[in-house]
Amino acid sequence: MSDLKTVGLEEFNIPLDQLNLPSIINMSSSTPFLEAAKLMFEKKIGSLTLGEGTKIEGIFTERDVISKLPLVLEDPMRPLSDLMTPSPLTLKNDATLSDAISIMSSREFRHLPVTNENGDIEKMISIKDVLKFISELFSEHMNDFKPINDWNKMGVSLQEQAILYDYHKEEGKLSEDVFDIPIKRIVNTSISKFNSQTSIREALLKLHERREAIALIMEYETELVGVVTERDILYKVFSSDLSLDLPIEEIMTSSPHVLSVNHQFGNALSNMFAYGYRNIPVVNQEGFPIGNISLLELLIFLANELGLRNLLKFV
């Protein structure tokens, strides 16, 4: 297996201040939720840090819309201080990428604020930033995975191949054939499915109850017609004051791209980068939707392979 490119943990010891991370938007925690929702829609962002000046008091993400849904529905104008995660975990800019991977995969964070040595908030690192860094380490192999959107029409019938990666993998290292692993090993099958005529209110309350962030929208219980994520909820419902009594089909992303359980890790990553997805519905060989794969599942898988998940110092 000497011809396969392999990287070790040393590749991830790069300090965060050497990465090209986006600047953050720091808002007052007294900002009303609806005002923040409109800003997040305009800026096409999924998280805000909250505080005065450059000091961070809390973080608010689109996930909080679902987790704090009863409070949001009771008073959409309530301040973000009621909805935020207070005193969030942060990393200093001299922390390493491996530190970020460990925390994000262990705590299932999709965003992590980065501060300078004085504790001033400067940047935000996201799961997508991490996965792009990893994919660029294997850019030559990743070029083999072109975006896929019409594999059914192309008559592709994928058969699971023997994955040599299982026979030579080493903890603390990644080799390029990790991207060849079929996504059936990573797919999240615990996912809600709603009829397209289910009201937005009912769907949101069920997502809150089940602590889920995505739902597949179905017709006749077998046909996938759309997908709804927490970003759809934030952008299409609360940033536009949409009635919660409308059917869920009003806010779904229609006819979403799907992947088969036998498509590969690299296919999922390529589609997510090409189309800006964070979630992709997954179907079985018969085309029936069985779950979802997200950026978070991909990161957790890689973190496990590197031995970076659930490290004691971050528990």
The DSSP-derived string for 48-69 is: EEESSTT---EEEEHHHHHHTH
Residue 161 confidence (pLDDT):
47
**DSSP-based three-state secondary structure for 213:** coil
Is the pLDDT at 71 greater than 90? The verdict is yes
Of 315, 312, 295, 309, the C-alpha closest to 102 is: 309
pLDDT for 165: 67
Whether 160 shows a pLDDT value over 50: the answer reads no
- In the structure, what pLDDT confidence band is assigned to residue 311 with cuts at 50, 70 and 90? low
Using 50, 70 and 90 to split pLDDT, how confident is the model at 267?
A: very high
Mode of pairing for the β-strands spanning 47-50 and 26-27? parallel
Mean pLDDT of 31-44: 95
User: Would the pLDDT of 279 be above 80?
Assistant: yes
Percent of the chain whose pLDDT exceeds 90: 80
Q: Taking 50 as the threshold, does the pLDDT of residue 202 lie above it?
A: yes
Q: Give the C-alpha separation, 54 to 56, whole Å.
A: 7
Q: What is the pLDDT of residue 201?
A: 97
Give the domains, in start order, of the chain with CATH numbers. 8-130 (3.10.580.10)
φ, ψ of residue 268 in degrees (nearest 5)? -60, -45
Cross-strand partners of 47 = 61
Best CA proximity match to 299, nearest among 64, 132, 177: 132
Tell me the percentage of the chain whose pLDDT exceeds 70: 92
Burial 42-71 (b: 16+ CB within 10 A, else e): eeebbbbbbbeeeebbbbbbbbbbbbbbee
pLDDT tens sequence across 82-106: 999 999 999 999 999 999 999 999 9
Q: What pLDDT is attached to residue 314?
A: 45
The letter for the amino acid at 86 is P
Is residue 137 within 8 A of residue 178, CB to CB? The reply is no
pLDDT score at 163:
60
Rounded to 5 degrees, what angle do the CA atoms 149, 204, 71 make?
135
